[in-house]
Chain A
Amino acid sequence: AQSVTQLGSHVSVSEGALVLLRCNYSSSVPPYLFWYVQYPNQGLQLLLKYTSAATLVKGINGFEAEFKKSETSFHLTKPSAHMSDAAEYFCAVSWNTGFQKLVFGTGTRLLVSP
């Protein structure tokens, strides 16, 4: 079965430091990849998506992610963390764009300290 692995349930960074959240998927077929952010008691907001165009994808709030087929990875990065980035981040994968059945990772909570 297809799966998504997010390494680290919690990641702590200092304000201004690099943010790196890891995501790996299991598939030999290039999928469609997404990163979502969830603030407490809210729904999920789409940060960025990869749909077989450029491998480096830029999203909202200064985040970007790079699709690496050889590593089956889609890690999320941001050069400089802000306090407002503290939230839970979910990586998700879909193998079609018509009916879109997303498989989610278990999430990574990003903690940002002053």
Chain B
Amino acid sequence: SQTIHQWPATLVQPVGSPLSLECTVEGTSNPNLYWYRQAAGRGLQLLFYSVGIGQISSEVPQNLSASRPQDRQFILSSKKLLLSDSGFYLCAWSLPGEQYFGPGTRLTVT
């Protein structure tokens, strides 16, 4: 069966520091991968998606970037965090007709 991992589970970082969040998927090949952000009191906002290695599409201009160095690995990065980057970050992958989410990373920027 397919499994999706995210780490770390929680992270507290100062403003201006770099960020790297990792997502890996097991049990499937060539999945579509997604990064979402969930801010307090708001729905999920799609940040990036990828349909293959090295193929990244950005949905929202922002302080973040994404990379897909391997088929089942998706990384969310920032060179310098802003306070507004705080939130709950969710990675997801999809089969035709369904999308599955990881456990999420709670990021607090102080």
Binding site for B on A (CB under 8 A): 9, 32, 34, 36, 41-46, 49, 51, 90, 94, 97-102, 104-107
Contact = CB atoms under 8 A, between A and B. Distances in A.
A95 to B, nearest CB: 13
Interface residues of B, number: 23
B32 interface: yes
A102 B96 contact: no
A21 to B, nearest CB: 14
A104 B90 contact: no
Contact of A90 (B43, B88, B102, B103): B43
A46 B97 contact: no
| Listed residue (A32, A42, A90) with the most chain B CB atoms within 10 angstroms of its CB | A42
| Listed residue (B42, B96, B106) with the most chain A CB atoms within 10 angstroms of its CB | B96
Specify the main secondary structure of chain A where it touches its partner: loop
Given A90-B43, A100-B32, A106-B42, A44 B97 contact: no
A26 to B, nearest CB: 15
Given A98-B96, A102-B44, 7 more contacts: A36-B101, A41-B104, A42-B104, A43-B90, A45-B101, A49-B97, A100-B96
A100 B103 contact: no
